[in-house]
Chain A
């Protein structure tokens, strides 16, 4: 399955929570790599990031976002039928974090709760999953919690965020369109190679070495093949956007905003230019919030568009892409949704 349309699903609201702690990619880097960091920040477009302190997890951020969203929606917790986490930063390897949050949020035990292991591409997949349950008539109200705690001081790219999106059954809701794809042949492009059953942690993986900036590197660190990710993103995403627009018979002019996963400036600008989209229709939060993995779409919608999306009707094209490899696009009409101000916790 690739292209599909869901009916009777209303986008009711969204909340985003980021850590209070601001990390500056240049000023907070060791002095001997600051010149290199200036060039890096300029090119990846990321100057500040939000990093969780040691005690804080993704689920702490998602908890705050969900509580705020439910309060502003004035939804009764007893009416929540599903709580799905889309992310790769569980509290524990097992059990699923969504189940722990069911209790912490005091949602009923009748809530369907589980985690979905997707990263940067995850947002459209999460909307599709809960949207499908609603469209099928299986549930009435559902929450999708998307995000990660992927940020580290030593890595200038990733930043932390937790988000909550509320979907509900509404027979008068406009259709949501999706195009969701997977290419496992690229699984090595972004991965944590060590720590699973294929390659368990060895003692040697825990012996660090200092890099040129003085940061410790370990065998358990994330591995990212930059050129492979760049090529994947800039070659696959523009045609994917054209494909879904063509499938639903819309032109780019009929889309109010194009929200892309905030990967890095080089990738995002290449995609924007290839699609011929004006800057004002493609909001960005890279400069202030970095790459927040699957949360980057909600972060951008909240930080840049929340007042706009709170009033009237707007059509958004949402596109996530990355680890997997995996990429998904959705066209969603948002009408007077609830958008609490960005939460800092």
Chain B
């Protein structure tokens, strides 16, 4: 069973928000564009790489994240 089938996009968003640790609360839902998040920055990208590695055992790299436009694209990286 792949990781994506074990984690819903809602659960993923919850873990994503905990990982990126934004200073100001922001609403993220399916379809949200990463570029629209004011604090989606290099630190958040690092936190996302760590989240994938430690929570899902999935290795992603910087260029994988750069290709993502929406939160759903990140979720799709769970594969």
List A residues at the B interface (Cβ < 8 Å): 35-36, 38-40, 42-44, 225-228, 230-231, 234-235, 266, 270, 273-274
Contacts and interface: CB of A to CB of B under 8 A. Distances in A.
B45 A226 contact: yes
A316 to B, nearest CB: 25
Given A227-B49, A273-B54, A43 B21 contact: yes
A266 B23 contact: no
Chain A facing B: main interface SS: helix
Nearest to A42: B21
Contacts of A38: 23
A231 to B, nearest CB: 5
A227 B65 contact: yes
- Could you say which interface size class chain B belongs to? 10 to 19
A230 B23 contact: no
B22 interface: yes
Contacts of A40: 43
B62 to A, nearest CB: 3
Greatest chain B CB density within 10 A among A230, A270, A273 is at: A230
B49 A230 contact: yes
Contacts of B42: 226-227
Contact of B39 (A39, A270, A273, A274): A39
Nearest to B41: A36
B59 A235 contact: yes
B28 interface: no
A225 B59 CA distance: 17
A36 B41 CA distance: 11
A274 B54 contact: yes
Q: Which 9 A-B pairs have the closest CB atoms?
A: A227-B62, A39-B23, A226-B42, A230-B46, A231-B61, A270-B50, A35-B23, A266-B50, A226-B46
A227 B63 CA distance: 9
Contacts of B21: 39, 42-43
Interface in B58-72: 59, 61-62, 65
Interface string B21-64: 11110000000000000010011011101100110000101100
Given A230-B49, A234-B53, A43 B43 contact: yes
13 contacts: A35-B23, A36-B39, A39-B23, A40-B43, A227-B46, A227-B62, A227-B65, A228-B61, A228-B62, A230-B49, A231-B62, A270-B53, A274-B54
